[in-house]
Amino acid sequence: MKTSAKGVPQASIDPATIGRLRSIALHALPRMYRPAERLFAFRLRKNGAGEVLEGVSRRYTATVLIGLASEDRRVATEILGRHSPQDVCDRLLDDLERMEDLGEVALTAWAAQALDHSRAAAAIRALRQREPGQRPYPMVELSWALTALAVDPQKSDPAQADVTAQALLASFQSQSALFPHWSAGYAAPKLRAHVSCFADFVYPIQALSYYHLATGNTRARETACRCAARMCELQGPAGQWWWHFDCHTGRVVENYPVYAVHQEAMAPMALFALAKAGGPEYPAAVAKSLQWLVSPPEKPGSLIDEERQVIWRKIARREPRRLVRGLQAAASCLHPGLRVPGLGCLFPPTAVDYESRPYEMGWILHAWPGSCEP
């Protein structure tokens, strides 16, 4: 197995596909940037023959900065124009006291360290004040906090990283080898307390891998390895990363929607982080993941829109108000093996969500940096 310096397994992965993903990310991000605010939009949405930008997002801005941290200055200039990644990060750091959740603070701290920003310590202090590991949080946000605390241990807070890692490890469901959606003590909705989503596996795997690299903690790597193995066992026959799972039993609760970002970036970057930490490599799973994006069996064509230079967000069921997900969550709450039959035929997964979000492009650059193209 040939592996790049960044821990990216090379075998079985189509270099042309990686080139297409990077090219679209580099063409889409300038259209998603709002220079007046020094922030990226919340989303780009198809609007007839054109497209429209909606909102702004600090989270998504931080994610793009993490992706840009591994790119050369020319790439950043093409995306940000007169601004530099440091300028955009300054805007996030100025907003630290106004940030509403742990996720925004954690991603900002991660981005500031990735960029070697002179004010990164301020973001770490703000992160520490949120007490990750001592308060209940969503699993994704807790994982981002651990990554921010572990990605550069010389600049962060090792003691806080240890506390956060212990909370993450304590949340792991050994019987299913999966993570729940919320850490212990979180007031979870009764009918959904057992349901976790794909992001609840990706980000803990990545965070624990970084934590192992920073500390040598073997339990962190072993837990990440177990979760990654289970995640790949659950991968769909055409490479789909399914959406909702029973974290107690490890069974799929509901398959759809399948998100492009999971296929193109999130699953690969978590598995690459694990490989870099000395865990197993999963090139076949990554190759299948990308192949689904290129040619999903649920619908003719691809989510990669070369003409518009965008990757559309997901393939979902044609259903009202997330009906299937709600019914399957309720049924599996009543009994772990219970599912409502026939819903797949009534509500087929043929709907494309014609929007794209900046964080999806940022994670592409993070997962597939230019220096590591196969």
Region of poorest pLDDT, from 156-160, 270-274, 293-297: 156-160
pLDDT tens string 52-69: 999 999 999 999 999 999
Beta strands in 22-141 (DSSP E): 33-34, 39-40, 43-47, 50-54
The CATH number of 15-372, from 3.40.50.1700, 3.40.1710.10, 1.10.490.10, 1.50.10.10, is 1.50.10.10
**Position with higher pLDDT, 332 vs 114:** 114
pLDDT tens string 232-241: 999 999 999 9
pLDDT tens string 261-277: 999 999 999 999 999 99
The strand pairing partners of 44, in sequence order, are 53, 356
pLDDT tens string 328-345: 888 888 888 888 888 888
pLDDT tens string 25-48: 999 999 999 999 999 999 999 999
Q: If you search the block for the tokens 């790597």, which residue do you land on? A: 221
pLDDT tens string 2-26: 444 444 445 578 899 999 999 999 9
pLDDT tens string 178-214: 999 988 777 667 767 889 999 999 999 999 999 999 9
Selection from 268, 271, 272 nearest residue 292 by Cα: 268
What global pTM score does this model have?
0.93
What is the DSSP annotation of 203-257? HHHHHHHHHHHHH--HHHHHHHHHHHHHHHHT--TTS---SEEETTT--EEE---
Question: What does the domain layout of the chain look like in residue ranges?
Answer: 15-372
Query: Taking the mean position of all CA atoms in its chain, how far away is CA 258?
Result: 13
The CA–CA distances, whole Å, from 148 to 123, 214, 220, 269, 297 equal 10, 11, 16, 15, 37
Phi, psi of 336 (to 5 degrees): -55, -30
Residue at 10: amino acid letter: Q
Is there a contact between 170 and 182 (Cβ–Cβ < 8 Å)?
A: no
DSSP state of 138: B
